[in-house]
Chain A
Amino acid sequence: MSTRSKAAILITSAGVLAAAWQIGTHNGQLVTPEGEESTGGNGTGGRTASPGSTATTTGNASATTTGSSAPTSGGTTTRPATTTAPPAKTGVSGTFTGSTVSTQYGPVTVTITLSNGIITNVSARISPIDSRSQTIQQNAIAILKSEVLAANSANISTVSGATFTSRAYITSLQSAIDTSGR
């Protein structure tokens, strides 16, 4: 039986989440996954999600980099972006949704809205966690990329796999166990 490494590499988008929470500011307000905008701070807070939070999305970003221009003679003016983020630069705009990942709070899907390279909105949808949150946290899904699974064949007393035919049984591990009477 092949040996398997014990090192588990859990895929999460923890890096993305952390970055999102820290950058997700708008008008000095911290965008939280509960959908409430809390004032204060400049958006450097980390995760504010807590167990028991329900799925929600935040309101639409209202920051724009182009506004109605005041009529003036000679040329147009644009209203500056109303965020406390660094000055607008030419960058990517659009809405990007990350894949659903498992966190200690449950499955989370993060959606980020970018406007000229500035994150203007962050929303996180967390699957509802009910009062069995303890159980669900224990059942949280990990996605293992490397070979971390292990089995000690000496301890195995019975075998499960996709249903084998009677013919395939003959050469199966189960057959070996049955004849050895383990």
Chain B
Amino acid sequence: MNHVFHSMGTAISLAGDVSDADARAIEQAFAELDARFSLYREDSELSRLARRDILLPAASPQVRTAYELAAFWRSETEGAFTPHRPDGVIDLAGVVKAMAIQVAGDILDASGSQHWCVNAGGDILTRTGHERDPWVIGVTDPSDRQQLLTQFTASHAFPAFATSGIAERGEHIWRLGADDTFISVSVAGPDIVTVDVLATAILAGGPATLERALQRWPLEVIASTRSGEYVVTAAFLDPAA
């Protein structure tokens, strides 16, 4: 059995060489981040920010760092990804889960584990050990999550994988303009924050954002369209090979 715990409204699975101590440390890290950043908790720092009980310059270094990260990605994606909700509230959910996954990976690396897989609600970071079986990621059908649409084999170059969909909980997807071409976007790439942000950005920004993303970052992408087509990069042309 894999280690499983719940945080940030979803389930986190830890597979591979994960000691009980590391699993507890990872669960603790998620809990701390959730307590600070969750807009679903009245007493979180982000909720206090939303109520203007405190202002951003007076927020904790952790919040300010996360905000800078989100602002950086807002710039990189030309606004397709943004921490600013239409009502003016700062929502950092788009980066916080990825940050937590990265922390989990750091904990495992620090312990010397060379083969692991952290899956937080479908956002995945992997490390593949020498001569170990590679992590094969199944991608669910956006219209039927019990069915697999395709698969992707994680690697050293593509250890991270994230999916954004329109029926998502807690990920506020604000459409950029009127683009609703894609209903689900999965991105494989070099790190979890990048793929998590870009999956969200491409979902919001559509094909133009996808083109720009492919020009700027090494990625593999599968995007499901509203009309039943799939826009894919080469890795998905024969993924089960």
- B240 lies within 8 A of A163 (CB): no
In the docked arrangement, what's the CA distance between A180 and B211, Å? 39
Q: Which of A136, A155, A175 contacts B11 (CB 8 A)?
A: A175
- Residues in A with CB closer than 8 Å to B136 are 155-158
Q: Which of B135, B149, B171 contacts A163 (CB 8 A)?
A: B171
Asked if B123 CB lies within 8 Å of chain A CBs, one says yes
Instruction: For residue B202, give the distance in angstroms from its CB to the closest CB of chain A.
Output: 12
- Residues in A with CB closer than 8 Å to B10 are 163-166, 169
A-B contact count (CB 8 A): 181
- Residues in A with CB closer than 8 Å to B151 are 150-152, 155-156
Instruction: For residue A176, give the distance in angstroms from its CB to the closest CB of chain B.
Output: 10
Instruction: For residue B199, give the distance in angstroms from its CB to the closest CB of chain A.
Output: 10
Number of A interface residues at 8 Å Cβ cutoff, please give it.
47
Q: Which of B15, B148, B167 contacts A162 (CB 8 A)?
A: B167
- Residues in A with CB closer than 8 Å to B168 are 162-163
In the docked arrangement, what's the CA distance between A107 and B214, Å? 11
- B163 lies within 8 A of A162 (CB): yes
- Residues in B with CB closer than 8 Å to A144 are 229-232, 237
Asked if A159 CB lies within 8 Å of chain B CBs, one says yes
Instruction: For residue A41, give the distance in angstroms from its CB to the closest CB of chain B.
Output: 33
Asked if A16 CB lies within 8 Å of chain B CBs, one says no
Asked if A57 CB lies within 8 Å of chain B CBs, one says no
Interface string of B102-126 (1 = CB under 8 A from A): 0000000000000001010111100
Interface string of B61-95 (1 = CB under 8 A from A): 00000000000000000000000000000000000
In the docked arrangement, what's the CA distance between A47 and B43, Å? 63
Instruction: For residue A110, give the distance in angstroms from its CB to the closest CB of chain B.
Output: 16
Closest residue of chain B to A179 (Cβ to Cβ) is B1
Q: Which of A136, A150, A160 contacts B239 (CB 8 A)?
A: A150
CB within 8 Å of B: which A64-85 residues: none
- Residues in A with CB closer than 8 Å to B15 are 157-158, 178
Instruction: For residue A140, give the distance in angstroms from its CB to the closest CB of chain B.
Output: 7
- Residues in A with CB closer than 8 Å to B44 are none
List the 4 closest pairs (A to B, CB-CB), nearest first.
A162-B165, A161-B140, A156-B138, A169-B11
Question: 27 A-B Cβ contacts within 8 A?
Answer: A2-B147, A138-B234, A141-B231, A141-B232, A142-B233, A142-B234, A145-B229, A149-B239, A150-B151, A151-B138, A151-B151, A155-B240, A158-B15, A158-B119, A159-B122, A159-B137, A161-B139, A163-B171, A164-B121, A164-B169, A165-B10, A174-B13, A174-B122, A177-B13, A178-B1, A178-B4, A181-B1
